[in-house]
Amino acid sequence: MIENVMIQGPGEEFLRVHFPGARQRTWLWHYLKRKYNFAKIGDPDSKVELGAFLSAHPNLIEESRQAALGVFLPDAEFRWVSNSDVEYLFLTKQVRKMCIGEPPWTYPDLTGRRRFIALIDCLTGNLDRKTEIVRQARAAWGNHAKTLRMFNWFKEQEEAAKCEFAWDRFARLKSEVINGRTPFQNKEDVILAFETSSLGASDKELLIQNLKRAWNLDRSRKRSEEQGRSQFNVMLSNESIELLGELRLRLNKSRTQVIEDLIRKECESLGIRIVNGHMCGMF
């Protein structure tokens, strides 16, 4: 079997020595694309294409090396950044606020932590400016993350069922939260939907509180049905309500138990009973 052997050119050797990591190559990809939009260099991980392009344009090798000086903050500045899409969405907004007139741009398929770091690496300015931007973004995220605790309810138990219930309820309410989105699969899907909506903080909290109440009522109803019980509302006179309360106290039973006992006793006196789901008795 004959294998294709790729002969390394000066561009590939340059990458190996000066841009060995994915982070550095990502910056280089953006640098070249901004200057030479026509460049066929694949994506930020396309070492072969990057190397070939540099080999074909040897004048760019030293230019790229010089341009990369003073660009990269230490990796330690980004240890706090996770791969959460929710975190990335928020951090991106923060960077845009702090860099008005210099809209961040990155390769669209980059996600999460890697994309945020690429945003910072591709910003202009010295390292002091970048350090301040990163630290302000970190502080802002720390404060914002506290407001997301209302969504912890989804993770407590039955996450998938709660997400499905939330989607169905928001659909019935025609809430903008689900506009343009696919059904929720997990807690992060729900948060992303809320974060990309135009709802204010108080509206978001109210929507979640109402959702929790609706969930509890739905689960209570289903448990009652499984136990052969159904909710039944009836209007009683004030006097009857007082008498019912007194019976409950004297018999040490709940109001529901008292009512059920009274119904059963009255039916027994009339010979009325239910057999195999059918009403039987003297008429």
Please name every residue paired with 275 in a beta bridge, in sequence order, or none if there are none: 278
Higher per-residue confidence, 73 vs 282: 73
The mean pLDDT of the chain is 85
Cα separation, 141 vs 128, in Å, equals 20
pLDDT band of 82, cuts 50, 70, 90? very high
Domain boundaries, given as residue ranges, for the chain: 10-67, 75-149, 157-226, 238-280
Cα separation, 122 vs 104, in Å, equals 8
pLDDT value at 5 more than 50: no
Measuring CA to CA, which residue among 171, 170, 153 is closest to residue 162? 153
Cα separation, 89 vs 112, in Å, equals 8
What is the C-alpha R_g of the chain? 32
Cα separation, 231 vs 206, in Å, equals 26
Handedness of CA 48, 50, 51, 56 (dihedral sign): positive
Check if the beta carbon of residue 250 is closer than 8 Å to that of residue 242: no
Q: Where would I find the H helices in the chain?
A: 10-18, 22-35, 47-56, 59-67, 85-98, 112-122, 127-147, 153-156, 159-172, 187-195, 201-226, 238-251, 255-270
pLDDT in tens, 134-193: 999 999 999 999 999 999 999 878 999 999 999 999 999 899 999 989 999 999 999 999
Q: Which string of b and e fits 211-227 if b means at least 16 CB within 10 Å?
A: beeebeeeeeeeeeeee
- Comparing 11-15, 201-205, 220-224, the range with the smallest average pLDDT is 220-224
Check if the beta carbon of residue 16 is closer than 8 Å to that of residue 55: no
| Mean pLDDT across 84-112 | 81
- Work out the angle at residue 113's Cα, subtended by the Cα atoms of residues 189 and 127, and round it to the nearest 5 degrees: 140
Please name every residue paired with 273 in a beta bridge, in sequence order, or none if there are none: 280
Length of the chain: 283
Residue matched to tokens 């300015």: 125
